Amino acid sequence: MRLLFVSFVIVFLSVPKDAIGQELKINDLEYFEKQGLNVLVYSNIFNGGFNDEKNAGIEMIMHGVRTAQGGAVRLSSAPEQWDLVPEVLNRKVDRSSQSIEAVLRFEDYNFESRVVVTAKGNAVELSVYLQEPVPEELEGKAGFNLEFLPSKYWSKTYLMDGRLNRFSRYVAGSNTTKPNSEKLKQFKGYSTTDDRGTGRFIEPLPLETGHSLLMAPEDPERRVKITSEDVELMVFDGRALAQNGWYVVRSILPKGKTGKVLTWTIEPNAIEGWIREPNVGLSQVGYIPTQPKVSVIELDKNDQVESKASIVKINTDGSSSTVFTGDVELWGDYYKYQYAKFDFSSLTTPGIYYIQYGDVKTNNFIIDNSVYDEITNATSDNWIPIHMNHMFVREGYRVWHGEPFKEGYRQAPPNTDHFDMHWQGPTTDTKYKGGELVPGLNIGGFFDAGDFDIETGANISVVQNFVRIWESFKPQRDQTFVDQDQRYVELHRQDGTPDMLQFIEHGAQQLVAQAEILGHMALTLSNSVLYNYHHLGDAASITDGLPYNPELGPYEVASDGLSSGVKDDMWVFTTRDPSRDMWAATMFASVSRALKGYNDDLADRALEQSKRLLKEATKLLEEKPDSRRFGWRGGAADVSTNLQLYISTGEQQYADKYLELLWPALDKNVSFVIFSALQGIPHMDDAFKEKLRPYMLKYKDYILELEKDNPYGVPIGLGNWAGNGMIQNFGTNVIWANKYFPDIIESDHAFKAASWLFGCHPYHNYSFVATVGATRPKAVFYGNNRADFSFIPGNVAPGVLFRKPDHFENYDDWPFLWGENEGTIAGNTSYFFFGSALKSLVD
């Protein structure tokens, strides 16, 4: 018996520790959970916009990182962004059987499937049921997919039926081509692949096939085993078609069968007793001596909170010494984790420091009066000029892009449903016919984001932000050479003119041209061809620079070299929205002031368009109140436009209208309209400021509620686009409110926004601003150079993305999720404004 007992102990101890643990169970948030592992089943569904955003279906969060997603019946082996996705008709949770199921439907093919996921110890069993056989046209095409994040698996090994392989750092494998007639209809009929006249499309071949797949056996945090006895497993590299593709594990649904037609057993590894390392938040930029200094520490709910933390100073001789030890106070739970705070505000001596919390040692940070001096320089010197459209942009030896879209823009045809969620209505609302060239629009403006279109609403915000920066702070920084006549920009070269004035001019050129040529503001200037829309590289190579000539054959160039048969010209979407016009009128009124004395002609034209658009938009909104499609912005613009026109013209009618609209708007939403109210103080009488005081008290209540809502005390977004823009605006509002009502609104709240942006936030503690935060800024962004896994200096990420029901994330090794990594021209100039205001506050 003793020998038997000893033998049992030896066998028990030889089992890997991470193979022993509690079983998967459905938790209160209706997903499968065990320590170190979450399996979500349609907690997040495919949306109706861009379809496959790599954020939906069956998802696996392994040791705190979402490593797999997209689990669903799909019609492609390597789905691209606009490929069809199933609609989730219903979702059922059965705790008695420990199962979650959903019915998926492809409306275009009248095809439904039912996916059932059931906990089986440390694994889940996934089954697909059909009431009707796979439709004939989907045979060999409909299959079950589960996608794995490449950056978490490349260079790791995998075994299929015992055969050893390795996931490559760059796309691997082979492709085949098939006739376009065999390609299934895509979302809205768009083709994502330009066959360049070959009449064929690309289809990847599997890297491996078999019945038992083991991924990353050498990595306990990423190890997954998938087996199936009844269907064959295939592994594809989705990057063969698009850089944002994931590794795909897939099985084809058998033809002619009903009932249970497919079963997988999925066993994601969970390390026994795994506890996530604490995320110790800090400002990577650093702190000025007198500001609040609070580290928010994000902790696994199974972790024990340390009672103390310390600040260690790095001395000039390289030695280190503990200079402060303080209490760590538990804040409480917020979604998946628990949070604690470590306040070291009393430390004011300039120097180099790091935080020691338990076994966690952060990177270093600085305390000094100069830490905020240069927080906007990378954005103004790099990101903004690189995004100047219709210009050749050079930096040293590097050309960021040539002059794009020399051929101009054509009128989008009526009833056009666009792949970037734009819509041209039943008429053009202009004098131009569908497909007709609209002269004069290829001037000025800024690329929207990681793509190369001009989003009018975003550009209005951009120019308005520039004017606010100019009028508020008069920055004289001159680090960009701009020649509008030569359409040439060079970074890090002075030209004797403040860059801010040139940015205002460049944006206003495009927007004034829209108002004058179209008669109102466009919705967008964007690609007519999806193949061009997801272009990566030099913007000048998206189109051939020659107007399309329908009399020429495909890719043929006219003998005079002035036109071509390439149907790649950009479109302008012109359906009129009076509230967008109203918003533009606000911006034009302020532009007229900023450009006075610098470009008087453009200033006068902007003021003329402001008055006209305000008059026409007001009339249109009175006649058709339901036409306010841009409504939430238009409501604020109604107030702000009249204030800006009053400041520009001095005409009392605008002041009267501003006051008439302001108070009801404040009653409706203080936090949204507060900035427009505060802007009015210098231009109104003393009674105006006193009337604002009760609203400032309401705004203070809003700020204090944020302190109760989350441990960071800022407004955190929970949508499909992360919330840094909202936090930047919050910080700016606080600074303006403190300026006029310091007895009510404390400036300390603005530093909470700064700390969040620069590293004190969930998931990790990296600065969200590229190259800003000397020790650890984010290194990978969704920009137009995202395929290089790089960044554009000064880019500001949207931030921490919330995935239902309780997961925050921000990948820094995978740029292609735009909702968390794509900097936009509106968001980055909003950061520029906030950063300028913060520097002014510090001064």
What are the catalytic residues?
813, 822
Asked if 518 contacts 412 with a C-beta cutoff of 8 angstroms, the reply is no
- Rounded to whole angstroms, how far apart are CA atoms 572 and 205? 39
CA separation for the pair 195, 181 (Å, rounded): 12
Q: Can you tell me which residue has the tokens 């376009």? A: 180
* Dihedral angle over CA of 403, 409, 415, 418, nearest 10: 0
Tokens 């604020």 found at: 636
Count CA within 13 A, CB hemisphere, residue 587: 29
The closest alpha carbon to 122, from 18, 230, 16, belongs to 18
- Residue 217 preceded by cis peptide, ω within 30: no
Residue 518 has a CB neighbour count (10 Å cut-off) of 21
Strands in 190-343 per DSSP E:
200-204, 208-210, 212-215, 224-227, 233-237, 247-252, 259-268, 279-280, 294-299, 308-314, 320-334, 337-343
Q: 230 CB contacts (<8 Å, ≥6 apart)?
A: 262, 263
Q: Using an 8 Å Cβ cutoff, are 284 and 774 in contact?
A: yes
Count, residues in the chain: 843
Buried b (16+ CB within 10 A) or exposed e, 317-337: eeeeeeebebebeebeebebb
Beta pairing, strands 351-357 & 308-314: antiparallel
Q: Is 602 helix (H, G, I), strand (E, B) or coil?
A: helix
In this structure, is the dihedral angle defined by the CA atoms of residues 68, 74, 79 and 82, taken in order, positive or negative? negative
The DSSP secondary structure of 331-386, one letter per residue, reads EEEETTEEEEEEE-TT----EEEEEEETTEEPPPEEESTTTTTTTTHHIIIIIHHH
Over the Cα atoms of the chain, what is R_g?
A: 29
Answer yes or no: are the C-beta atoms of 240 and 261 closer than 8 Å: no
On the 0-12 / 13-18 / 19+ scale of CB atoms within 10 A, 129 is middle
* Helix, coil or strand: residue 153: coil
Distance CA 759, CA 751 (A): 12
Cα gap 52→748, rounded to integer Å: 41
Q: Report the C-alpha gap between 570 and 589 in whole angstroms.
A: 29
